[in-house]
Structure 1
C-alpha cells in the first residue's frame, strides 16, 4: 500500500487545487492572494469591467506576475527569435 501526501489549497471552503508538494501549494495560494487583492483594485478603476471579467483579469495578472513586474519596471519583454532552418543555410551558401 502506498502513502501519498497531498497538499490542498482551499478558499472559502472550496477545494481549488491539489498538489504533491508544499512549495507548489504555497505558490498557488500566494497567487490566489494576489488575484484577490487585484480584483477590488480593478473594480474601482474607470474601466467599467463586469465582475466576471475583472476576476479573470485579476487571475491572469496574478498568474503572470513576474512578466507584469518586469513590464512595470520598464524592462522590455524578451523577444524570442525563431530558430534558423537548415534550408535557409543551404540557400545562402549557393
Structure 2
C-alpha cells in the first residue's frame, strides 16, 4: 500500500492545484494572492480591458513577479527563459 501526501490549494471552495510539497503549495497560494491584489490595481487604469483579460494579465504578472520586479528596478533586459507551460486560469 502506498501513502501519498498531497497539498491542495483551494480558493472560494474551488480546488485550484494539487502539489506534493507544502512549499510548492504555499508558493502557488502566494502567487494567487498577488494576482488577486493586482486585479483592482489594473482595473483602476484608464485601459478598457475585459474582466477575463484583467484576470489573465494579473495571473501572468504574478507568475512572473521576479522578472517584473527586475524591470521595475530599472533592469534593461529580462533574461530569456524557456516558456512555461500555460495553465488554464480559473477564477481566482
**What range describes the TM-score normalised by the shorter chain of this pair?**
0.7 to 0.9
Which deviates more from structure 2 when the two are superposed, residues 41-50 or residues 65-74?
41-50
Q: CA RMSD in A?
A: 1.1
- Specify every segment of 5 or more residues in structure 1 that has no aligned partner in the other structure, as ranges: 81-94
Residues 1:24 and 2:24 aligned together = yes
Cα deviation 1:24-80 (Å, max 9, x = unaligned)? 000000000000000011011111111000000000000000000000000122455
Paired residue secondary structure (2:17): strand
Higher helix share: 1
Say whether the 8 Å CA contact 2:34–2:62 is kept in structure 1.
yes
Say whether the 8 Å CA contact 2:8–2:16 is kept in structure 1.
yes
Using structure 2 for the length normalisation, give the TM-score.
Answer: 0.83
Match of 1:58 in 2: 58
Using structure 1 for the length normalisation, give the TM-score.
Answer: 0.81
Higher Rg of the two aligned structures: 1
Q: 1:35 to 1:78 in 2, by over 3 A?
A: closer
